[in-house]
Every structure is written in structure tokens, then in C-alpha cells.
Structure 1
Amino acid sequence: MADLERSAKPVSQWTNNELLAFNIRVEDAGVEAFFNIPQLPPPTASTAILDNLDEPPGPLLNNDRLFFAYKCSAERAERRLSCIDLSRFLLDLLDYNSGYRLLSVWAKLSLLMGGRRINANIDLFVINELDEYLLIIHEDKHSNQDPEAQVIAKAITAFDHNNSKRVESGLQRLPAKDICAIAMKRTAPIFYRIHVTTALVDALAASNYPQEETMVLRFIPPVPNQQLYSTEGMHPLANRRSVFQCLEAFKAVIVCLLCSNLKKAASDIFLKE
């Protein structure tokens, strides 16, 4: 693959060709390899959410009512940000924005690729108090684009941003780090762990073929019918339960990354002083 074309392309134009050209491989992982646990945890969502296809009659707690409203909006795709609205609600509902984690919408980052700066718009993200990206969420907006390649490109950009922040603080760049990501198509999330290295970032900047392969772990929720998952999303109750289990497990992964980042920053600051 070293002879493939490598030129600066906007993130919206990344395809599997860019992954091949920069030695990036995506591999499906099981629960233990992806989440570092033997099995998925039970969901913590309410019984109203887990036991009803659609909004049930009668009074509901506000979060239950909002879930069905956001889900319905995302399924219809009537509004441009309906999918991101649902994603933000879910992450907020499951406390992704607590414990030194901040949840925010839309950021414009850039990455040096082939001697040019390309832009990466991050739809939704979780950062820590050091402004380091822990999780990015990418909305699959167009059927003619490649959401997997795009979410990987955004994760690489987020890693480079994190290292730039370290350099601004007088610290060394991290040689490698996992960036968590979710590609969301309406109500169907797919989970990623992208192991980004400075070697990959430098290769992108110079349009060189990296000798070291970049491994991306992908986890598709274990729903009964994976062929229909992208269209059914969280509507079937079995799918919904599985997605909520994955979100709970993914939060634990992000907490571990956060602790690792903070410990590394504290250690580097101590050594610097």
C-alpha cells in the first residue's frame, strides 16, 4: 500500500483509500478486548425506556419523555442535528459529563496533511479539564460518504490537538494514546478505539507511508440482527438494551483514559519542575 496516493484531503473526503494509504487497519473486537471487561454491564436506564418501543401513555419522568422525543426526531431525521441532539442527551443521561469530564457540541480543529491544514469539525465531544479530547462523536450525515474513515481522521486530529496543548504547557508530546469515538447513524452508534501515534501524525504531515500499522478497534453492539442494525437502531427493545449496555461500558473506558491522562500530566509537570 506504500504506492497509494497520499495527498491533503478534507476530512469529509476521507475514504478507506486514506486508511490504506496511511497503514490504518480496522478490526472488530469482542467485549473483553474492547471494553477490558468479561461481559457487558447491565443497563442503568429506566424501565420506561427499556420496556417500551414508543412513548407509553400516562405521566413520565422528564428524562424518559425526552428520550422518546429525541429518538423519534433522530429516526425521522427531520432536523440537521437531531442525531447529535439524541447523542448529547444519552451521554448526559449516563453521566458522561461528570468527574472532571465536560460534554460540549461542535469544535473546529485542524491537522497538517501533505503540507496543508485540513479542517475537522467535531460534532460532539467529551474533554477533560485540561482541554484534552477523550471522546468524539461523529454523525453519519450522508450515505455517499465514509463515516468510519471520517471518524478516524477526526480522532487523529483530536490526538494532535491534545499534544499541541501539552507543548503549549511546556510538556513533551505523548508518543501514543487511545482516542475513543462513536460514529452515529440516526439511533445506531458504532464504537471505536483509535490508537493514534505521533509517528502517524508526522507521516500524515509529510504524506509518508508509516511503517508502523495503526490499529483501530471497532465494536458493533451485539444486537439480534446486525444486518438491520443501521436502519433499526435503538427502536427494537433488544437493540436498545444492547446499546445502553455498550454506553455504560464505554464510559468506564473513558474514565480510565481520563485517569491515565491526569496522572501523566501531573507526572510530567512534577518532572518539569
Structure 2
Amino acid sequence: MAQLRRTPKSGNDWTANELCAYNITVTSETKQLHQEAAVVKFSAQLLRGLEYDDDDSIVFIRRAIPFLTCGENSVAQIDVCIMDDNEILLLLQEDKILTSMEDPEPQIIAEAIAAFALNNRKRERDPNLPLCNSIMFPCITMAGTMPVFYKITITAALSKTGTYSETETRGMRPLPSRLEILRCLEAFKKFLGK
């Protein structure tokens, strides 16, 4: 839908319309996982308890990062992220749909686009690190008591927001299952390269 109108918006204001305008779809996979008390502080503490943070990485809450869309600077507000010294490794977005009608999928994808740009800006300043043409971000949205896991690959072409990407970007959305949340959170760490 290259004809769809794209307007500058902060990552938190993205909706399903922006996903269509940038040719992004989310496809279903095998499982959707559940856990009690899906709030930002609980999520951050859970990630710490599962040792997502270690000597090389840290859990951040409410991290605002610059977000360029349609040639205008904006901000993507990440609820929780895991960062090492140089880069954002994982993103988590609380699903506020029960209280504010915000859909977390477009927001987490916008945040991944912003994280891609931030990671590459940091790489530009370090002569030992090459720029990335694509980055797969492990992402989680917390919908009520239900975490939903994503692997979202952002490319350099998609990062240049404001233009329609001829190449479709696909996220991953698991299907329903209420078991194995802690085991899956532990296994999800492999996407951080740990």
C-alpha cells in the first residue's frame, strides 16, 4: 500500500495504520504464554530475577529514545529494555489496551525501529563496530497477565521511516498456551546472545 499516507508520529502514537503504511505484518507462530501481574515494575523485576541483566547488561525502565519519522524527530518511550554498554538488546511494552485503547504491537515495532537507529548511531561512534544492515530484536508485550513474545527484524531500509518499504517486514506472534512461562522466558534469553 505505497499510497497510504505516512505522517510523523512518536512511537507511542503508532497504530495498525502505520504498520500498513510501512508494509509491516505480524504473523502467528506456535504458542502464546501467560503470567500473573503484568505491570512494568513486575516485568522488570521478573527479567532481573531470571538474570536477563548480568555483568554486561542492565534492565532499564521507561527509556525514551529518539525516533525519526517522516523527517521529524520524535520519541519512542520503551517501558522496559535490556541494554549492554552499547546497544538495546530486548524491548518490553506493557499493553495498555484495557485502560487506554493503545495497541502494543505497533508501539513495540516503532520502538524496535527506534532502537535499531540508536544502536547504529552508537556504532557510528565506535570504529571497531560495523553498522548493522539488520537487527532481530527479541520483544515482549505484556497484555494483562499475558506476555506475548516477538522476534522483530528491523532493516536499514525500514529504519529510514517516511518511505514505504517494498520488502515486507514480519514480526512473530505466538498462538494461545497458558503453560511454561518461566521456562520460555529463560529460553528467550538466547536471543540476547547469552
Does the alignment reach a TM-score above 0.5? yes
Q: Which has the higher contact order (CA 8 A, sep 6+)?
A: 2
SS at match of 1:18: helix
Taking structure 1 as the reference length, the TM-score comes to 0.64
Q: Structure 2: which amino acid aligns with 1:169?
A: D
Q: How does 1:117-156 map to 2 (within 5 A)?
A: 117-130=73-86, 132-143=87-98, 144-156=101-113
SS at match of 2:46: helix
> 1:159 — aligned with what?
116
Indicate the structure (1 or 2) with the bigger Cα radius of gyration: 1
Taking structure 2 as the reference length, the TM-score comes to 0.89
Contact preservation (8 Å) 1:97, 1:103: yes
Contact preservation (8 Å) 1:155, 1:180: no
Equivalent-residue separation in structure 2 for 1:4 and 1:208 (angstroms) = 10
> 2:142 — aligned with what?
184
* Residue number among 242, 246, 254 corresponding to 2:180 in the alignment: 242
SS at match of 2:180: helix
Q: Structure 2: which amino acid aligns with 1:152?
A: I
Runs of at least 5 residues in structure 1 that lack an aligned partner in the other structure:
32-66, 76-82, 224-238, 257-273
> 1:86 — aligned with what?
42
> 1:34 — aligned with what?
none
Equivalent-residue separation in structure 1 for 2:137 and 2:190 (angstroms) = 14
1:174 counterpart = 2:132: yes
Equivalent-residue separation in structure 2 for 1:114 and 1:197 (angstroms) = 17
Q: Structure 2: which amino acid aligns with 1:218?
A: R
Q: Deviations over 1:30-59 (max 9, x none)?
A: 37xxxxxxxxxxxxxxxxxxxxxxxxxxxx
Runs of at least 5 residues in structure 2 that lack an aligned partner in the other structure:
none
Equivalent-residue separation in structure 1 for 2:6 and 2:126 (angstroms) = 32
1:100 counterpart = 2:38: no
Aligned-pair CA distance for 1:214: 1.1
Aligned-pair CA distance for 1:188: 1.0
Contact preservation (8 Å) 1:23, 1:211: yes
SS at match of 1:5: coil
Report sequence identity in percent: 36
Aligned-pair CA distance for 1:29: 2.2
Aligned-pair CA distance for 1:140: 1.3
> 2:23 — aligned with what?
23
Aligned-pair CA distance for 1:99: 5.2
Q: Structure 1: which amino acid aligns with 2:95?
A: D
Which structure dedicates a bigger proportion of its chain to helix? 1
